[in-house]
Chain A
Amino acid sequence: MPNPFVLNTTNREDLSIMSIEGYLDAHTAPQFEEKLQAEIEAGRTRIVVDCSKLSYISSAGLGVFMSFIEEIREHSGDIKISGLAPKVRHTFEILGFHDIFDLLDDVQAAVKRFEDKPTREV
């Protein structure tokens, strides 16, 4: 039962908008991790992760967000997470991610948040 997972990245000026779809779990997390790593290596540290089509996230998936956030914020960048479905948002909140990350309703709001608050302290 391989879980479906799709990852698309678009660039808007200096923002990278990564949209993730399907199941982000232990099997698919490495793909996401690789992509994030590549973005950071390319110097693109202002990232919006659009989760509007994300239907499941496991602890391994959540770990990916955490493993890069410090490095990104040291470079004055940030990861803003947008469009979480209620169930997925619930998982984020259980873990306390709403205290670490900006969780926005949609990509538009996330882009706007970058203007108001380009980064935040860890």
Chain B
Amino acid sequence: MRISRLIVLILIAVAGYALLARLSSQQPASGFGYVLDRSEAINRARIEAKQRGIDADSWRAGVETQVQGNSAIYLKNTPHPGLKDLLSPIAVEATLSEPSTGRRFFATLAADGRLLGFRRREPQPDGINLSAEQAEQLAESSLADIAGEKRSDFVRRPAPPSTGESRTFSWEMIAPDESRVKVTLDVVVTGGRIMSVSLNPAFSPVHLEQQRKARQPLNTVSVFFPILIAATLLVAFICYMLHIVRKEVRHRSTLIFLAATFVLMSLWGINGEIHEDLFTDLTGAPPFGSVLLGYALSVLLISLINSLFIAPFFVMFAAGFPYAVHLPKNPLNTIELILRGKAGARIVGRSLFTGLSLGWILPVIPLAVSAYGRLEYPALKPGSLPDAFNASFPTLSPPTDFATIQLFTVFSVFAFLYPLIARFVRRRAVVRLLVVVVAAAGLTAATPFQVSMTGMFLGALIQAIAFAAIIYRVDVLSAVTALIAGDFAAKLCVYASQPSPSLQSSGWRGWAALVILAAGAAVLAFRGRETSEEEHHLQWVNEAQRANRVERERLKAEFEVARRAQQQMLPDKPPSAPGLDISAHCRPAREVGGDLYDFLDLPDGRLGIVVADVSGKGVPASLYMTLTKGLLASVSETTSDPGAILHEVNRHLYIACRKKMFVTLLLAVFDPHRRTLTYARAGHNPPVLRRNRAGETTLLKAPGIGLGLNGGDLFKRTMKVESASLEAQDLLILYSDGITEAMNEQREEYGEERLMELAARLDSISAEGVKDAVLNDVGAFLGRVPPQDDQTIVVVRVL
């Protein structure tokens, strides 16, 4: 990463997060006026208990934040200002309990600290028996507690029939505007004590209709999204299994990933999520008799559950990785480096820093669409923000629902679907379009607009493009970091805007943590370990590669054995025939070849020289070459006639070759005493005969078709055995088409003419010298082009 890029990113980050903080005031959660943090909520509950004659200072305490769904809808839909002081969209329920006696006190507090109601449990009756009037007077005191100045708006409702020892008293208030919202205050008195006080907004058909409409688009998405998730996961899982079967991913990485997730999740649990009240029933003894043990077990359990929740992310990653390595730039590279324990690499720092700097984009998009597009940001989605208020900052609290869905979508689309699609679709523009549309469809479910499908899709589309841009320019790790950082920052904005000093300071500490993380990432980006180009690719599939390499080397070794076996099949050295100087060479184009030369001691004492070429190359050709050699050796045991030998070899080869192959062969038989040459040519290249004394160079072109082409008479009919008488210093060159058909870069063939001209210039040279001269001349002709075919040459000089 260059310094200029760092500075630009820092400037972008400062501006972006400032914009986020500004737009964040649009978010309903920012207006909660939260004065309570966890300890303050417990403190308030104890004061309220004391006012009702309960000394709960030494009791065990727990806190739970609740979304008051009905109250939220009322507050949103009615202009009546009085309701604001009465209801609250969010509430904190503090529970106090004394396990030894079973006494409990539940206080429901508004975010701004008002008492919304309470309940108490008393196992022992107090033995006081109040008259109806006395009881009503007692109950009425609650009206002042809860409604405060609004108490004059409440009118007494006829009491419902009392059940058992309890008496219920109700008051109701009707908002004086057209909404006619009705709020009921119910007070239950048992013996001489008020057992419960609660405020209940009542539904009217108008409100039910409003609520139904608000849920509709979310319902559509909530049906569509799980199907999408399940389908993607299923496909990813199948791919993952295939990769494992093909040994393209390592089991060990799965374990490392799960262990790392578990450790991270445990940190989350220890640091923020878990309080005593989450793992013990406050009314009973802690499990296993020890708070510490209970706590440890809870951390373990919650971490395990959270880790399992993370597992699908790993499946996506592992399913996508073998495809991603084929992309020009592997977007999963840095995640893979981290999994291999090489998190100290510079490119990891670069991805993290870029992600941290750009995180604001993601929460800003829905906020901006809502602010400038006049679309409604949801009052609250149950389970999203409020629970985090229970944790003390800086905390590593898990992402909100909102971010979880985004995270899942982004990861499945970019870590799995994108590499998969790119593997099979070649055109980059098509891949990008597909990926953005799929991501936008997935992100729609995560975009928080309760009433506008258009708004949801618009926000999701912009987010998808932003993600795609980060992934194409940097990688998936960067995008995921951005997502988590953005979600974290959005929470911090909400924290910092609450009146509670401890929440505000939590917010600021959170910001400080973000800055420290970013600084660490920047240091890593500049001072981290350099990774080689090789490390950027194919590491994940290393094991499969290694397996391939082992396999390749084994094959190579076997080929070497085959090559040597074949070379050994060729004669060690030319026979020392009286009156003849012979030199021979065979050079296969591949490890093994289809060319052959051999010397046959014929029964009548003459010497047969064979050069043959099996059609095709490589292993199949070499097998037929071996067969041909065996047939020649066996047939020449009993006959010395070249024609008869070739007929017999042809017959066998025709049966063995099944028309898939044929063999061209030249058999030259020398009679050193009479100085004659008798030869038969089965479709082979005609040998060059150089007559020294006459100064003539000719090709010996006796007719005949290749061996194995025809099993009937045709072969016999076409073949003519010819003879020539030789003189001293005559030269005969037998060769295969690898010599005359050698082709250079200009696609010219070496050709028979060149060979004949060369032979004419080599009159006084030994057989060995002629052989070397021919091979060198062909080599020079080919230049840089490697030989395409086996080259075989046998040179005979008559002495």
Give me the interface of A with B, judged by CB distance under 8 Å: 1, 26, 55-56, 58-60, 62-63, 66-67, 70, 87, 94-97, 99-100, 122
Query: Is A66 touching B709 in the complex (CB atoms < 8 A)?
Result: yes
Count of B residues near A, CB < 8 Å? 31
Contact A99-B714, Cβ < 8 Å, known A63-B661, A63-B662, A94-B686: yes
Contact A26-B706, Cβ < 8 Å, known A99-B714, A122-B712: no
Residue B660 lies at the interface, judged by CB distance under 8 Å to chain A:
yes
Query: Is A59 touching B712 in the complex (CB atoms < 8 A)?
Result: no
A98: min CB distance to chain B, Å? 9
**Residues from chain A with Cβ under 8 Å of B659 in the complex:** 66-67, 70
Residue of B617, B661, B683, B747 near A26 (CB, 8 A) is B617
Most chain A CB neighbours (cut-off 10 Å) among B615, B686, B703, B743: B615
Query: Which 4 residue pairs are nearest across A and B when measured between Cβ atoms?
Result: A96-B705, A59-B615, A95-B683, A99-B718
- Provide a sorted-by-A list of 6 A–B residue pairs whose CB atoms are within 8 angstroms: A59-B613, A59-B616, A63-B662, A99-B718, A100-B710, A122-B714
Query: Is A100 touching B705 in the complex (CB atoms < 8 A)?
Result: yes
**Residues from chain A with Cβ under 8 Å of B660 in the complex:** 63, 67
Give me the interface of B with A, judged by CB distance under 8 Å: 613, 615-617, 659-662, 664, 682-686, 703-706, 709-710, 712, 714, 717-718, 737, 741, 743, 747, 749, 785, 789
Nearest A residue to B719 by beta-carbon distance? A96
Nearest A residue to B685 by beta-carbon distance? A94
**Residues from chain A with Cβ under 8 Å of B664 in the complex:** 59, 94-95
Instruction: Compute how far the CA of A97 lies from the CA of B715 in the bound complex, rounded to whole angstroms.
Output: 11
Instruction: Compute how far the CA of A6 lies from the CA of B706 in the bound complex, rounded to whole angstroms.
Output: 27
A122: min CB distance to chain B, Å? 6
**Residues from chain B with Cβ under 8 Å of A95 in the complex:** 664, 683, 705-706
Main secondary structure of the interface of A (DSSP, over half): helix
Contact A94-B683, Cβ < 8 Å, known A100-B705, A122-B714: yes
**Residues from chain B with Cβ under 8 Å of A97 in the complex:** 705
Nearest B residue to A63 by beta-carbon distance? B615
Contact A96-B616, Cβ < 8 Å, known A59-B737, A122-B712: no
A93: min CB distance to chain B, Å? 8
Query: Is A96 touching B661 in the complex (CB atoms < 8 A)?
Result: no
Most chain B CB neighbours (cut-off 10 Å) among A58, A66, A70: A66
Residue of B616, B703, B712, B749 near A63 (CB, 8 A) is B616
Instruction: Compute how far the CA of A122 lies from the CA of B662 in the bound complex, rounded to whole angstroms.
Output: 16
Query: Is B710 touching A26 in the complex (CB atoms < 8 A)?
Result: no
Known pairs A59-B615, A59-B662; list 9 more (Cβ under 8 Å): A26-B616, A26-B617, A58-B737, A59-B664, A60-B615, A63-B660, A95-B664, A95-B706, A96-B703
**Residues from chain A with Cβ under 8 Å of B686 in the complex:** 94
Nearest B residue to A67 by beta-carbon distance? B659
Most chain B CB neighbours (cut-off 10 Å) among A63, A70, A87: A63
A67: min CB distance to chain B, Å? 5
**Residues from chain B with Cβ under 8 Å of A70 in the complex:** 659
Query: Is B704 touching A96 in the complex (CB atoms < 8 A)?
Result: yes
**Residues from chain A with Cβ under 8 Å of B703 in the complex:** 96, 99
Nearest A residue to B663 by beta-carbon distance? A59
Instruction: Compute how far the CA of A97 lies from the CA of B704 in the bound complex, rounded to whole angstroms.
Output: 9
**Residues from chain A with Cβ under 8 Å of B743 in the complex:** 56
Instruction: Compute how far the CA of A60 lies from the CA of B684 in the bound complex, rounded to whole angstroms.
Output: 14
Nearest A residue to B618 by beta-carbon distance? A26
Instruction: Compute how far the CA of A96 lies from the CA of B749 in the bound complex, rounded to whole angstroms.
Output: 21
Contact A96-B706, Cβ < 8 Å, known A26-B616, A60-B616: yes
**Residues from chain A with Cβ under 8 Å of B785 in the complex:** 1
**Residues from chain B with Cβ under 8 Å of A100 in the complex:** 705, 709-710, 714
